[in-house]
Amino acid sequence: MLKADLHIHTTASDGKLTPARVVEYVLQTDLDVIAITDHDTMAGVGEAREAARGSRLTVLPGVEISTLMEGMDCHILAYGLEDQTLLAPLLAGQKTRRIERARRIIENLNRIGFDISYEEVRGEAGAASIGRPHIARVLIRKGYAATHQEVFMRYLGNRADCFYQTSYPDTLETMALIHQAGGYAILAHPAQKWNFIDIKKLKDGGLDGIECYHPSHNSAMQRRYVDYCTNYGLMITGGSDFHGTVADFYHLGVVHTRIEPDSPLMNCTERIPLTENN
């Protein structure tokens, strides 16, 4: 069995470390496999693979896709994609949606008196897929809040006044597209939002597995998700959801899953990932 962390973010989206730096830190753990799963982009996979070349570490291509299930945010992890080009139009659309959401959130922040611009947030994100954490970093740097957690609780969280809900693609349609590309659709961090009634709807709609192991899951939750996957023939995955924060380093190499060397997820190890900045 291989020790795997199948949920890692880099500066290609909202992580703090470049893909190469992520690999450097992972090689200090006993992980055998990682998946780079940036938000709505696969642009960081190539650099991570190059950094891991010649080492014991296998880097799998992946992506965490933002979708909507009955009006609620639903994050789907996609792995094992045989034809990644089929996802290119969707990921390009996600980039546009993320820019629009950032602009709307900044407008909302301006209305309550915050001096913050899109250009500042774009500068914080660089070439990355823009996200709320980039807005949070600008707010903290300008003294409007002390911590990332405070920003999300007061301003940017899904129920906060400045949040803007963008029109992400439908979850079931996104899972169907992942299947067309030969991949597997996994529900990310279910304990943050989903009960088993909701999970059954996703399963009936084509869900392939559940991220059973995640920092937001306690041991009882982990057992329930593993039992559910075992009973219904779903894939069991897990990972640290690493973004490079101080807290994340406590999870790297600790929150993980075990996969067989012949797991379907390992079939895409030699495929070339999408390298454009989706």
Round to the nearest angstrom and report the end-to-end CA distance of the chain: 33
* 39 and 142 part of one domain: no
Question: Which of the 8 DSSP states describes residue 205?
Answer: T
CATH number of the domain residue 147 falls in: 1.10.150.650
Report the pLDDT averaged over residues 174-201. 94
* Per-residue pLDDT band at 268 (split at 50, 70, 90): low
* 102 and 222 part of one domain: no
Q: By residue range, what is the domain housing residue 145? A: 92-156
* 51 and 188 part of one domain: yes
* Per-residue pLDDT band at 276 (split at 50, 70, 90): very low
Overall number of domains in the chain = 2
* 80 and 97 part of one domain: no
* 42 and 125 part of one domain: no
- Record the tokens describing residue 224, joined without a space: 């329930």
* 69 and 175 part of one domain: yes
* 56 and 176 part of one domain: yes
Question: Which of the 8 DSSP states describes residue 39?
Answer: B
Examine residue 277 and state whether it is found in any structural domain, yes or no: no
- Where do the H-state alpha helices sit in the chain? 19-26, 45-52, 88-111, 118-125, 132-141, 148-151, 171-180, 196-204, 219-232, 248-251
Q: What pLDDT was estimated at residue 35?
A: 97
In the predicted model, is pLDDT for residue 271 greater than 80? Answer: no
Judge contact between 238 and 212, C-beta under 8 A: yes
| 241 alpha carbon, distance to own chain's centre | 7
Examine residue 274 and state whether it is found in any structural domain, yes or no: no
Judge contact between 35 and 52, C-beta under 8 A: no
* 134 and 206 part of one domain: no
Q: In what order do the strands lie in the sheet with 184-187?
A: 235-238, 209-213, 184-187, 72-79, 58-69, 33-36, 2-8, 257-259
* 182 and 81 part of one domain: yes
pTM here is: 0.90
* 185 and 79 part of one domain: yes
CATH number of the domain residue 237 falls in: 3.20.20.140
* 114 and 235 part of one domain: no
Q: What is the pLDDT of residues 194-237, one digit of tens each?
A: 899 999 999 999 999 999 999 999 999 999 999 999 999 999 99
Report the pLDDT averaged over residues 8-18. 95
* 8 and 81 part of one domain: yes
Amino acid, res. 147: T
Name the average pLDDT for the chain. Answer: 93
Examine residue 60 and state whether it is found in any structural domain, yes or no: yes
Examine residue 15 and state whether it is found in any structural domain, yes or no: yes
Residue carrying the six token digits 């969280």:
157
Measured on CA atoms in the order 164, 167, 168, 171, is the torsion positive or negative? Answer: positive
